[in-house]
Amino acid sequence: MSIYVYGVTRAPVDLPAGLRGVGDPPSPLRALAAGSLAAVVSAAPERLRARRRDLHAHQNVLLALAEEGPVLPSRFGVVAADAESVDARLRAEQDSYEAALDRVAGRVEMNLKALTVESGLNDLLRQDPRLQRFRQEARRQPGYETSIRLGEAVMAGLTRRARAAVDEGVTALTPLAAEVQPGPEVEGCVRNTSFLVAADQVPEFRRVVEEFASRHSGEVELRVTGPLPCYSFAALPAAAGA
Amino acid sequence: MTVITTDEVVCPPRAGTLYDVLDLILDRGIVIDVFLRVSLVGIEILKIDARIVVASVDTYLRFAEACNRVDLERDSQSRTVPELFGGASSGARKAGAKKAAHAVGQKVKGALGVGDEDGEEEDSEEEPEEKPSRSRSGARTSTSRTRAKTSR
């Protein structure tokens, strides 16, 4: 019977009560211990899809486990053929997993996403001679072509402003983090960056983000999410480039 | 400006939080090499943030219109850009952009089951053709950029 793998942690695992796994109805969670490690798993649903309920379940199980100790979160949707293959894998990779658990122990992931803000348009127009030229053209020769050129330049300018601001913010936040990783490219975000932060540094991290965000509100919108399971910092050394 | 500082570890994340980190849940984390990662129908759709508006031509036109309304001679504080955008609401271009954004939002909502707080979302398997390629594989082109609405 195939099993859904939420993540890897250290044995023994004290599974928090009342946690729901993926599937409808959710199947019970259990820990498969192998040596010093344990995988937290449940029976894989027959038709697993990235539904909101299942994504929530995956995330909630990992958040709960992270409270108990270091955990390496699986990507959503990792399924093993059977318990034996999980056991064999954990034993074979024990040293790598232990090293990866040490890396995230006592730390959380904080994710920062940056978006453009339209309220910067006035300032942008004042500062950018090229944009002013496009605007003149659009006024002299109103039409589709000139409007598109102007609008595209505005979008590029807003993106540039937001990116410059958030990069400054990332620089300010980096000393608070043990590691920094770029996140996947997300449409609509000009930057997506994850920070590995000591759990007791989270309030300070947020303070710096908020302070920075309010100073740069005309340039960039920042969304900080966390503490999260350390998705971006869980890769095993061998798989780091994968 | 919105800074969203979200839940402590002890609290289950709100839906908004989940959307903000879908990229991490789906693209980061360990993939144990001999294990299978199941092919998930609809997984690409979920990568779209429900609040992101497909920009493209409509947004460029909207920006152009907003630019033309900016009075460079006057105090920048006297009118805000949202007011400028608001003033354009009768224009067909704005309506077009809004409609497009709305349509995208609806598709994503359909896929996510948004607005159904206890998670009893209906199936949406007929949706996979909406997002054939991974967003990071270069779907972004000069004519299909995106931007996000600032409101939540």
What pLDDT digit, counting tens, does each position of B73-84 carry? 654 444 444 444
Interface of A with B in 11-30 (CB under 8 A): none
Tally Cβ neighbours within 10 Å of residue B88: 18
**HSE-up of B96 (CA within 13 Å, CB side)?**
11
CB contact (8 A) between residue B112 and residue A52? yes
Give whichever of A137-141, B29-33, B86-90, B109-113 has the largest mean pLDDT: A137-141
DSSP state letters, A172-232: HHGGG-SEEEE----TT-SEEEEEEEEGGGHHHHHHHHHHHHHHTTTTEEEEEEEEE--GG
In chain B, what are the domain boundaries?
Answer: 15-148
CB contact (8 A) between residue B148 and residue A221? yes
Alpha carbons A125 and A127: distance in angstroms, whole number: 6
**Which residue out of B9, B19, B46 would a mutagenesis test of the A interface target, given it has the greatest number of A Cβ atoms within 10 Å?**
B9
A5 Rama sector, left if φ>0, alpha if ψ -120 to 50, beta otherwise: beta
CATH entry, A108-121+159-233, from 3.30.70.100, 3.40.50.410, 3.30.2290.10, 3.30.70.260? 3.30.70.100
| Integer angstrom CA distances of residue A172 from A186, A224, B34 | 22, 14, 40
Closest residue, chain B, to A45 (C-alpha): B38
Extract the tokens encoding B88: 């354009």
**Which residue out of B37, B38, B41 would a mutagenesis test of the A interface target, given it has the greatest number of A Cβ atoms within 10 Å?**
B38
Interface of A with B in 178-197 (CB under 8 A): 183-189, 192, 194
CA B73 from centre of chain = 35
Alpha carbons A234 and A6: distance in angstroms, whole number: 13
% of chain A exceeding 90 in pLDDT? 68
From the list A58, A41, A183, A188, the residue with the least C-alpha distance to A112 is A183
Task: Tell me the pLDDT tens digit for each residue of A141-172.
Answer: 888 999 999 999 999 999 999 999 999 999 99
Q: Report the length, in residues, of chain A.
A: 242
pLDDT for the residue numbered A78: 87
ipTM summary value: 0.85
Amino acid at A184: P
Closest residue, chain A, to B46 (C-alpha): A50
Q: What are phi and psi of A145, to 5 degrees?
A: -60, -50
Considering only CB atoms, B64 lies closest to which of A63, A151, A209, namely A151
Alpha carbons A222 and B17: distance in angstroms, whole number: 14
Alpha carbons B99 and B67: distance in angstroms, whole number: 21
Interface of A with B in 135-174 (CB under 8 A): 135, 138-139, 146-148, 150-152, 154-155, 158
Decide if A105 contacts A240 (C-beta within 8 A): no
